[in-house]
Amino acid sequence: MHTNDRTPPAQVVAGKLIVGKLISALCLLTLLLLLPTVAYAADKPSKALAQLGTPIPVMLPTLADVTGLQEQGNSAATVPTVPTATPSPTITATVTPTPTVTATPTPSPTVITVDPSGEKIVYEVAFTNNTGETINDAKIDIEVPPYTIFNLQESTQNWECPTGITSGNTCTYTWGDIPPDSVGAAALVNAVWTSTMVLDVLTDQLPPNAEAIAFDVVVLDGAGKIYATYNLSATLPERVAVYRVLLPIIRQ
């Protein structure tokens, strides 16, 4: 028995119609899907070209642009310059040296007296402090002049002669602190500080031609600063020369 495997023509035609319809449907669907894209491409040519694979031109910066951008970056990154602080001027104080106080000695109001015999010299030291400053531990110094002896008994009390009362030694009288004149209590204004000294003259030792005895009286403070110096001279009275006449001895 022979079997016929061929498809009947009616079925073949029906199948082709179905396939054709399917292809037409697919084409229509594809067209519908592509229609928005085509419309968008018509409005945005550059975008449509990009989507279709057309290369988009890129504007690369030139060397001048890069240099300008670099300069702008450097300008933006520049640290502002801090102004240099101007140092304040150094103030130099001009120190005016204090003038040295120069004592103006007040002349002694008392005249040196020498007794008629020429054996005693009396002198009253007188001092007014017109230096403008207090003299601390003020004192009087006198070097005992030649041919004399310092008479402690007849001089003002508190004179001291530590090394002796004979010629060449120094005798001292201490007043203490003396305020400047016109300062302090009324009793101290124009005050005169005094002390009396007595010298015994060794007449038997005087040279025959001696006419005066000179000596210095110094006013100074406890530290040794001199405030006044009195150069004094005591005139001696004239002496009568005594001559001895030796008579020859006559023997019998």
The mean-pLDDT minimum among 33-47, 113-127, 218-232 falls in 33-47
Q: Residue ranges per domain, the chain? A: 9-57, 113-235
Q: Which residues contact 214 (CB under 8 A, 6 or more apart)?
A: 145, 231, 232, 233, 234
Q: Taking the CA of residue 173 as centre, how many other CA atoms within 13 Å lie in the half-sphere pointing to its CB?
A: 24
154-209 pLDDT, tens digit each: 999 999 999 999 999 999 999 999 888 755 555 455 678 888 999 999 999 999 88
Give the three-class secondary structure for 96: coil
Q: How confident is the model at residue 41 (pLDDT cuts 50, 70, 90)?
A: low
Assigned token pair, 157: 């009390």
Q: CATH classification of 113-235 is 3.30.500.10, yes or no?
A: no
* Distance separating alpha carbons of residues 181 and 191, to the nearest angstrom: 7
Q: Strand 135-143 and strand 113-114: pairing?
A: unpaired
